[in-house]
Chains A and B, each alone.
Chain A
Amino acid sequence: MNPQSTTATPAPHRRRRTLNRVSFVVYALLSVMVFVSVFPLYWMFVVATTDSATATSLPPHIVPGENFLYLARLVFDTVPFVQALINSLVVATTIGVGQAVLCALAGFAFAKLSFPGRNTLFLIVVLTMTVPAQLAVIPQYLIMSNLGWVDTLQAVIVPGLVSAFGIFWMRQHIGSAIDDELMHAARVDGATTGQIFWRIAFPLVRPAAFVLGLFGFVSAWNDFLWPFIVLKSPERYTVQIAIKALQNNRDIDLGLAMSGSFLATLPLLVLFVFVGRRLVQGIMEGAFKG
């Protein structure tokens, strides 16, 4: 963009010319961004389909090879990858659904019910929202060890159900979705709080709860540090930990970890094709609330 020349031309012309030039720049910029965003995934696929010798030769081969099935089988032989996929699915689904429901319930209470201690409790949520769980992995490990939960999936699931952000999010949505008059009217009609929640509030904020659950699902699927600490037996691995195990076994084949990464990302990509729109909307809505 060259602002000087654009201001020098008469107005009607200027408009069209800048638009053309702008749109060229815009589309070039977008193409670069899309390319950069997608290329590493493509490259993952390329290496996951080529043999070690090809993958470690220069110039690089940028078309997929024919080794995909061989490497995939090697992945399944080296670590229990099917089990890892199941584990990840169980963990991520439970966390996604659990977060949505727990946060909707609590968010409803914070937005629409009044009770002693409400503000204090909410303040605690807000204050801890920014504190990452990572810094407390050592005590968390000791707690799990005392519960006898180390090396079990619930060690990952149960703490993952809690999302301070989720409460915040659901409270905002429920707060703006249901006005107090509606609540009042429902009460006059004899509806109990439970009925108000399940029949009025929850259906209204279901899309928001869905998006929350989606975010919970994605981040649980991709979580690394905590599962890496508590899940030690191969049959408990989530896919991310399986990737690390495959990397450890790189003496077997250099493409192993890459093939595992690809197989671990594929389910999310498929999911993304169907619900990606909702994620985009969720992020863009979050911009207003955040």
Chain B
Amino acid sequence: MKRVITTAAILATAVLLVVGCTPGSGGESAADSKTFEFWSFTGINQKAAVDNYTKAHPDIQVKLTEVGSTTETAQALTTALAGGKVPDLVLIQGDDLPKFMQSPDNFVDLSTLGADKMKGDYLDWVIKQSTTKDGKVIGIPTDVGGLAIAYRTDLFKAAGLPTDRDEVSKLWPTWDGFLEAGKKYVQATGKPFLDNASTSVFFQAVNQGTERYYDADRKLTYEKNPQVKAAFDLSLKIHSAGITSKITSWSTGWTAGMSKGDFAVVSAPSWMLNAIRTNAPDTSGKWDVATIPGGAGNWGGSYLAIPKRAKNPKAAWNYIAEMQSPAGQLAQFLRQGSLPTTPSVYSDPQLIGKTDPFFSNAPIGKIYTQSVLGIKPFYIGPEDATVGSEMLNTLVSVEQGQVAPGDAWNTAMTNVKNALRG
């Protein structure tokens, strides 16, 4: 009987032992200043930037995790902030940032580490998004998503369309011109022109306005804003014209279709160039970049932030300071094409002269900086990600034949309202 008590004791100890011996449950070395953990999203090849940094600093080890999509990364970060192990450094997409700005205490105020001296380097409207009212800097902007259009020169040629980027840009000063060009392409080839109308039209057009889902007084006005409605209707119009392949962005069909030439055009915010490169490596040299119809705009762009409970904020900050300085962003642009947020380098001859062989030597520096300099910044609020994704989802449903185009706007408004209250 003594044994039973011993047994119970042994069991209890066993449980504790299991708990204690589980790899990493307690024995993690606290602050190893040479190593830091970095969460990013998939699809933008953050690994290349990290490799570059570690090459320059062989003593530093960066544990990079590509968590998932931008949304999934933000979700994982929230879960971690709520009680898990946090990374030392995290990349947050611009539309997801406002949610985190609501509880700035979860992050290190970067101005305590030196961001106060760098603040002036960045586009004013970009750094404003990551600065709290009382002046805390939560994130340092890594890039902006200037807008442009990527197209396949080989497919354009086969369709009898011009292939030169200036001529192509002239085809579509407006979205109507874009639509006409699309119709010509479809007529000539019988194949879809554009990947889809949801991401490639709505998410571009809605970012070309002077206001998006909030007005200047930070009130949610998506329902009444005529610019939002116009972008939505434009997307429906292009969908109904039958020039898209109706393949949802980021789906397997989209990735495969990109390599196979199932469509000739993809809207390409600057960070999309990297996605095209990764998704369709075999199409190198067959792409080119033209200006976007409808004028300047910005979609996306991201921020680097350091959670308050980070084990090694210093190493993370060193990474930010070096990689996101004007010189760092310029170098990053020259390597991978993500557009700097530091206007001082916009006139740098290296940036202006930068061409990309994957995209037929297009002067991507010139094209994208122009699209950003003309921008009319608007307020992005905490519900922007939700509103945007519900509207996009409705358009995807239209493309999948689940919602009639005529009902789409009302459906979208209902869906947004449901999502906002939940």
Contact = CB atoms under 8 A, between A and B. Distances in A.
A195 interface: yes
B43 interface: yes
B4 interface: yes
B265 to A, nearest CB: 19
B358 to A, nearest CB: 16
Interface stretch (B20-28, B170-178, B373-381): B20-28
A109 B37 CA distance: 49
Contact of B256 (A52, A98, A142, A153): A52
Contact of B15 (A149, A161, A193, A233): A161
A10 interface: no
A149 B22 CA distance: 11
Contact of B252 (A192, A249, A250, A252): A250
A3 interface: no
Given A153-B25, A154-B25, A232 B2 contact: no
B56 interface: no
A56 B80 CA distance: 37
A192 B84 CA distance: 46
A102 interface: yes
A206 to B, nearest CB: 16
Interface in B269-317: 275, 278-279
Contacts of B2: 192, 194
A254 interface: yes
A87 B23 contact: yes
Contact of B23 (A90, A229, A252): A90
A168 interface: no
Contact of A144 (B7, B19, B83): B83
B4 A153 contact: no
Sort chain A's interface into a size bin: 35 or more
Interface string B384-398: 000000000000000
Main secondary structure of the interface of A (DSSP, over half): helix
A232 B78 CA distance: 11
B22 A157 contact: yes
A197 interface: yes
Interface string A3-36: 0000000000000000000000000000000000
Nearest to B18: A94
Interface stretch (B63-71, B114-122, B150-158, B196-204): B63-71
A16 to B, nearest CB: 54
A152 interface: yes
B23 A153 contact: yes
Nearest to B76: A232
B3 interface: yes
Contact of B83 (A141, A250, A252, A254): A141
Nearest to B64: A234
Contact of A248 (B69, B79, B259, B278): B69
B252 A254 contact: yes
Contacts of A87: 23
Contacts of B106: none
Contacts of A145: 82-84
B85 interface: yes
A116 B250 CA distance: 61
B31 interface: no
Interface string B1-40: 1111001100100110011001111000000000001000
Contacts of B11: 101-102, 105
B51 interface: no
A157 B255 contact: no
A102 B11 CA distance: 8
B42 interface: yes
Given A154-B18, A154-B22, A251 B43 contact: yes
Nearest to A101: B11
B105 interface: no
Given A105-B11, A152-B22, A193-B4, A249 B84 contact: no
B72 interface: yes
Contacts of B252: 56, 250, 254
A86 B22 CA distance: 11
Contacts of B1: 192-194
Interface string A249-281: 111101000000000000000000000000000
Given A161-B15, A251-B43, 6 more contacts: A149-B25, A153-B25, A158-B15, A198-B3, A248-B67, A251-B250
Interface of A: 52-53, 56, 86-87, 90, 94, 98, 101-102, 105, 141-142, 144-146, 148-154, 157-158, 161, 192-195, 197-198, 229-230, 232-236, 245, 248-252, 254
26 contacts: A56-B256, A90-B23, A101-B11, A105-B7, A105-B8, A141-B79, A144-B83, A145-B84, A150-B79, A152-B25, A154-B22, A154-B25, A157-B18, A192-B4, A193-B1, A193-B4, A194-B2, A194-B3, A194-B4, A194-B7, A229-B79, A233-B37, A235-B24, A248-B69, A252-B278, A254-B255
Closest 10 CB pairs of A and B: A145-B83, A150-B84, A194-B4, A194-B3, A153-B22, A192-B1, A248-B68, A154-B19, A151-B85, A151-B84
